[in-house]
Structure 1
C-alpha cells in the first residue's frame, strides 16, 4: 500500500520549484495556435498510477489548453504532503484524499476542495480468492495487514461494527504501507486493508492469483476519496478564481473524456514516470476507478459535482473515527462557489 494514504503526523514540506511569474503573480505561455495560456501546476497524491489517466489524457487531447491552461503534472509523495504543499502555495492545485484534506483543515491549513471526483470510497479488505472470504462475517479469526493511524485503519472498526463484528474478532497486524502486499503474498497475513483501485491490481499482477474484495461502500460505509484541492494562492482575487474555475471545468471534462475512452486514456500515461505500473495493472486500476465516480445523489451528473449531504456524511464518518477533532461546516472544506454546479 502506498504511503500516500498515511494521515498521522505532519512532516516538513518539500520545496516545489514554481514557474517564473509576471508582475501580477501569474505565469503564462502561448500555445502553438497563438492562444495565451495560464501556467498551472497540479501535484498528484502519489507517483502516477491508473487513477491519474484522465489528467494525462486531458493534456494529450488539449482539453486543458481549450480552457486556457498550460498544465504541468507533478508526482506526489502522499496525500498529506500534497495537502500541505497546496495550502502553502507550493503547488497551484493538488489531487488528494479527502480524509487528508479534512485532517489538514482540522490542523489549521488553509486549503479547500474544488470537487471530489472519487465519491465512492475504494477502501476495502483485499485477499486472494483461495481464502474463501465472501462476506464480512468470514473475516472472523483472520489476520489483516493494516497501518496504524491511516484512514483505512481508523475507519475499519466502523466497518466491522456496521457488519456485526467486534474489533476483537479480527487481528490487525501493524504493517509498513509498502509491506502490505508482501505480507499477503507470503502468507503472513490473510488479507490487507487497501484501495480497490490501487493495491488489488498490483497484488494480482505480482502473484498471478485472483484477488477478492470486501468493499466498505458495499457493506454499509461510504465516504469521499480523491479530489481536486486548492489553497489561498489559487483562490484569492477574481483573476485567480477565474483560473480555478477553468481548471475545475477542464478536469471534469478530462475525466468525462477518459471515461468514454479508457484504453486511449491509459495509453496517454506512457512515459509519465519511471515507476509507472505495467500496462495491465494501469488498465485494471483505471477500470476500477471509473466505478467510484458517483454516489446515488450525483449519478448522471458531470464528474466532480458534489452535494452538501455527501460532504456531511464524510465529515461525520471521520469525526466518528477520531480523525476530525473539531468538525466544521461543509463550507470550511468545500468551495462550492468555484466547484461545478449540479
Structure 2
C-alpha cells in the first residue's frame, strides 16, 4: 500500500517537481555531441556554461557540447523546434509565445531565475519611481510583452498610459538613452546595460520590472523540443548537472577568461562586474532546497496568466510549457 501511495504521489508531482531518482551520468563513457544555441552573443549570463566547458564538466559526463551563437534572438526557439539544435537558451515569455504559435517546445530548466529586464534612466530625466514616467518618452525594442510590462507598471503606479510616449528603438536601447531620443528604456538588463552605463559614470537609475507590477519569471531558460525532452532526457539531465557544477566552479573562482576566449570583443571589466552581480544576487540559484535550474510552477502559471490577460497567449496557465523532470540529481 505504501509503495502504491508513493507511486501515485510521484505521478501527481512529476510534471511540477520531476519525481524520481533524477541521476545524471557522472562518468565520461562514449562522447555524445550536444548542440546548444545561445540566446545572444556570449556574455556574462552564460559564464557558468563556459566555466563548465573550460573545467571539463561536460566531458566528465560524456558530452561533447558545441555552443552556437544565433543570427538573431528569435532564432533559438525555432532551431530547437525544427530539430536543428538540441538545446537553446531563450526567455520564459518567448517560450509561452512560441507554444501559442504551435511550436512544440518546452523549457527544461532555468538559467537565470529572476527578471533582469528593467526600466533604466539617467539622472537628468528625474525618474526615481514608475510614477515619474508621467510625460516621459520610453524606448523599447518593440516587443509585444515589453509593451505589456509597461502597461502593467503604469497601472500599478497609477499613471495614465496615454501620458507616456512609447518608442520602438529596436535593440539600440543604450544609444537611444545616451543621445536623449528617450528619457528611459525598458528592455535593458540591470546586470548588463545598467552596469555598462555605471562604468561610463552615467549614474543610471534602475527599476526592475518584477518589483514594479510585473509578475516574476525566469529571465533565461534552457529550451528543447517536446520530442527531444523525451528522447534525450538523460543527456539533458547530464548537461544541466554539468552546468550546475560549472556555476559552482564560477562561484569559487569568478574567472571570465573562458567567456572572453569565446567572444574576444567583450569588455572584460563589464563582464567581471556583470558576473559579480549575478553571483552576489544569487540569480543562478533556485529557491533553497530546490535543485539547480528548478522552475517554480506557481510563478510560471502566474506569469502565463499575466500574458493571457494581456492578450498575448490563448492559454491561461503554463501547462506543458515547462518541466522539472529533467533536472540534475546527483553528481560529483
Q: What TM-score does the superposition give when structure 1 sets the normalisation length? A: 0.80
2:139 alignment counterpart: 145
Asked if 1 retains the 8 angstrom alpha-carbon contact of 2:153 and 2:212, the reply is yes
* Contact 1:113–1:228 (CA under 8 A) maintained in structure 2: yes
Which residue is equivalent to 2:184?
A: 191
1:235 aligns with 2:229: yes
Q: Does 1:293 align with 2:283?
A: yes
Tell me, yes or no, if the aligned pair for 1:79 and 1:95 is still in contact at 8 Å: no
Gaps of at least 5 residues in structure 2 are 1-26
2:100 to 99, 106, 127: 106
Q: Quick one: distance in 2 between partners of 1:56 and 1:41? A: 14
Deviations 1:56-93 (A, max 9, x none): 11111111122221111111234421011011110011
**Other-structure match for 1:76:** 70
Distance in 2 of aligned mates of 1:79 and 1:108: 19
- Answer yes or no: is the 8 Å Cα contact 2:177–2:183 preserved in 1: yes
Shift of 1:55: 0.8
Q: 1:198 to 1:153 in 2, by over 3 A?
A: farther
Q: By how many angstroms is 1:340 displaced?
A: 4.7
Alignment-derived partner of residue 16 in structure 1: none
Pairing partner for 1:216 from 209, 224, 244:
209
Instruction: Report the secondary structure of 2:138's partner residue.
Output: strand
Structure 1 residues not aligned, in runs of 5+: 1-32
User: Is 1:63 aligned to 2:24, yes or no?
Assistant: no
Q: Which residue of 2 aligns with 1:268?
A: 258
Residues 76-134 of structure 1 show CA distances to partners (whole Å, capped at 9, x for unaligned) of: 23442101101111001111111111111111111111112322111211012343322
* Other-structure match for 2:22: none
Q: Shift of residue 235 of structure 1? A: 2.5
- Deviations, residues 127-179 of structure 1 (Å, cap 9, x unaligned): 123433222212222111113234322321111112222212321122122x2
In the TM superposition, residue 289 of structure 1 has moved relative to its aligned partner by: 3.2
> Contact 2:37–2:70 (CA<8 Å) still a contact in 1?
yes
Per-residue CA shift, 1:253-307, capped at 9, x if unaligned?
2223323333x1x222122125x42011112222333436279x82454431122
Moved more, 125-134 or 78-87: 125-134
| Residue of structure 2 in register with 1:321 after alignment | 310
- 1: distance between equivalents of 2:64 and 2:127? 47
8 Å CA contact 1:120–1:224 kept in 2: the answer is: yes
Q: Determine the C-alpha separation between the residues in 2 that align with 1:293 and 1:181.
A: 23
1:77 is paired with a residue of what secondary structure? Answer: coil
The higher relative CO (CA closer than 8 Å, separation ≥ 6) is in 2
Corresponding residue SS for 1:90: coil
Q: Is the 8 A contact 1:252 1:302 kept in 2?
A: no
The residue correspondences of 1:1-342 to structure 2 (distance < 5 A) are: 35-177=29-171, 179-194=172-187, 195-205=189-199, 207-221=200-214, 222-232=216-226, 234-237=228-231, 240-262=232-254, 264=255, 266-274=256-264, 276-290=265-279, 291=281, 293=283, 298-299=287-288, 301-330=290-319, 332-340=320-328
Change (3 A) 1:300 1:184: farther
Alignment RMSD, CA only?
Answer: 2.5
In the alignment, the residues of structure 2 paired with residue 103 and residue 135 of structure 1 have an alpha-carbon distance, to the nearest angstrom, of 29
State the SS of the aligned residue for 2:315.
Answer: coil
- Rounded to whole Å, the distance in 1 between the matches of 2:46 and 2:123 is 28
